[in-house]
Chain A
């Protein structure tokens, strides 16, 4: 979706402001939100792509005005309600008043913690040969799905070069929407700064994205 989360190339957000000796969390509730998202995802309530999609579908004004973990919380609440794990009535009451719904992988236990401290595996068996190889010129498609995608707007329509083939990976565009893993070839594609930003671009700049095959066409 062409949401406000797709920020690459936007102007006007001001300077980057690093915080000296920044703590891991700025409030206890932030840590609780992070842990709830990780636990419910690991228990099978949603996949990582759906959790991203639910943050992207927050109203743009809310997205921009909310802290990082506030966005995580709002996305989590919406996601759990939409998937039927939590009812609006539970939230209104502040505790469980509706029955629980079975989780795909059962409830999240203490013994699951070690497992989630490693990122998941997303490569899958190929179901078709790769269409592109390193060195091929490709154009990022001029596509604007209204649902989740990982093709940023700033590269759409632009020509780059395939640098690396990562094999087949879970396709976020379908996984986020509960339409299956639908594995697709994944490539690092490199764009010249001048191709993306025009003649005024820093001439020393190159930008790469990791692009799934359906995002690309020969150029």
Chain B
């Protein structure tokens, strides 16, 4: 059903408010795109190319490769913690990463967690676009005050004396958590290690998978 038809019919179906609201938004978005194209601000096809680039070039596979390399190569890990952007630039197979990337390492005594309380700042080249929960009020409001409560929502718990460090992304610096390498992975290749690295483990709201556990 076209958005236009949808919006018209929904006027007769007040119970379906969310649906009609969405359709109205869709119409307004289309109109704005028409205006921008007609005014010559955006070359036809350029918006499709942006969307395609987001859908294919970025994603947590990039971050997972960085983490797997850090787990495998102590010199790289040290370089990564010293200057994240510079170290990642030496990995040819990872999507180009912007400046000011700070990599923060989890240890048995310290757990790191990343939030943006003011909007949605996120290292998207390495993790893809942020999930809805990262951008929504429950996470943004509570991560800095009750991180253990937030972790419980993810089914994650930490020993009670583990220090929790929450990084609020208030500037153009971006943070990537380097999780602890799972036990039982001795002799794993970087490719095998990368398979264990989850998006949430790089935000600090989860742990990497352990070998043999269901994914």
A interface residues, Cβ below 8 angstroms from B: 5-11, 13-19, 22, 24, 26-29, 31-36, 38-40, 43, 45, 48, 52, 55, 64, 68, 70, 73, 76-77, 80, 85-86, 90-91, 94-96, 99-100, 103, 107-110, 112-114, 116-123, 150-152, 154, 164, 166, 169-170, 172, 186, 188, 190, 196-197, 201-202, 204-212
Q: With the chains together, A26 CA to B120 CA distance in Å?
A: 17
Q: Do residues B53 and A68 form an inter-chain contact, with CB atoms below 8 A?
A: no
Q: Do residues A118 and B43 form an inter-chain contact, with CB atoms below 8 A?
A: no
Q: Do residues B141 and A22 form an inter-chain contact, with CB atoms below 8 A?
A: no
Q: Known: A55-B119, A68-B135, A202-B148. Contact between A119 and B174, CB under 8 A?
A: yes
Q: With the chains together, A84 CA to B3 CA distance in Å?
A: 28
Q: With the chains together, A38 CA to B120 CA distance in Å?
A: 15
Q: How far is the CB of B194 from chain A (nearest CB, A)?
A: 19
Which residues from B are CB-within-8-Å of A114? Answer: 53
Q: Do residues B170 and A210 form an inter-chain contact, with CB atoms below 8 A?
A: yes
Which residues from A are CB-within-8-Å of B47? Answer: 32, 35-36, 39
Complex partner residue of B128 from A24, A122, A172, CB under 8 angstroms:
A24
Q: Do residues A91 and B32 form an inter-chain contact, with CB atoms below 8 A?
A: yes
Q: Known: A27-B26, A96-B39. Contact between A108 and B172, CB under 8 A?
A: no
Q: With the chains together, A205 CA to B102 CA distance in Å?
A: 20
Complex partner residue of A119 from B33, B99, B119, B138, CB under 8 angstroms:
B99
Q: With the chains together, A4 CA to B125 CA distance in Å?
A: 28
Q: Do residues A117 and B125 form an inter-chain contact, with CB atoms below 8 A?
A: yes
Q: Do residues A8 and B41 form an inter-chain contact, with CB atoms below 8 A?
A: no
Which residues from A are CB-within-8-Å of B117? Answer: 6-8, 152, 154
Which of B5-13, B72-80, B156-164, B179-187 has 4 or more CB atoms under 8 Å from chain A?
A: B156-164
Q: Do residues A29 and B29 form an inter-chain contact, with CB atoms below 8 A?
A: yes
Q: Do residues A8 and B43 form an inter-chain contact, with CB atoms below 8 A?
A: no
Which residues from B are CB-within-8-Å of A16? Answer: 133, 136, 138-139, 142, 150, 153-154
How would residues 136 to 151 of chain B score, 1 for a CB under 8 Å from any chain A CB and 0 otherwise? 1111111111111010
B25 adjacent to chain A (CB < 8 Å): yes
* Interface residue total, chain B, C-beta cutoff 8 A: 82
Which residues from A are CB-within-8-Å of B150? Answer: 16
Q: How far is the CB of B148 from chain A (nearest CB, A)?
A: 6
B interface residues, Cβ below 8 angstroms from A: 22, 25-26, 28-36, 38-43, 45-51, 53-55, 57-58, 95-100, 102, 115, 117-120, 124-125, 128-129, 131-133, 135-148, 150, 153-154, 160-174, 200
Q: Known: A16-B153, A204-B163. Contact between A9 and B145, CB under 8 A?
A: yes
Q: Do residues B164 and A13 form an inter-chain contact, with CB atoms below 8 A?
A: no
Q: With the chains together, A190 CA to B168 CA distance in Å?
A: 10
Complex partner residue of B170 from A14, A109, A150, CB under 8 angstroms:
A150
Which residues from A are CB-within-8-Å of B137? Answer: 7, 10, 13, 64
Q: Known: A8-B145, A108-B41, A119-B174. Contact between A29 and B25, CB under 8 A?
A: yes
Q: With the chains together, A96 CA to B32 CA distance in Å?
A: 9
Q: Do residues A208 and B118 form an inter-chain contact, with CB atoms below 8 A?
A: no
Which residues from A are CB-within-8-Å of B145? Answer: 8-9, 154, 196-197, 201
Which residues from B are CB-within-8-Å of A32? Answer: 29-30, 33, 47, 51
Q: Known: A7-B140, A15-B153, A116-B50. Contact between A204 and B164, CB under 8 A?
A: yes
Q: Known: A94-B31, A206-B164, A208-B165. Contact between A119 and B139, CB under 8 A?
A: no
Q: Known: A85-B39, A95-B35. Contact between A8 and B144, CB under 8 A?
A: yes
Q: Do residues B41 and A152 form an inter-chain contact, with CB atoms below 8 A?
A: no
Q: Do residues B141 and A206 form an inter-chain contact, with CB atoms below 8 A?
A: no
Which residues from B are CB-within-8-Å of A35? Answer: 46-48, 50-51
Closest A residue, CB atoms, query B124: A119
Q: Do residues A152 and B125 form an inter-chain contact, with CB atoms below 8 A?
A: no
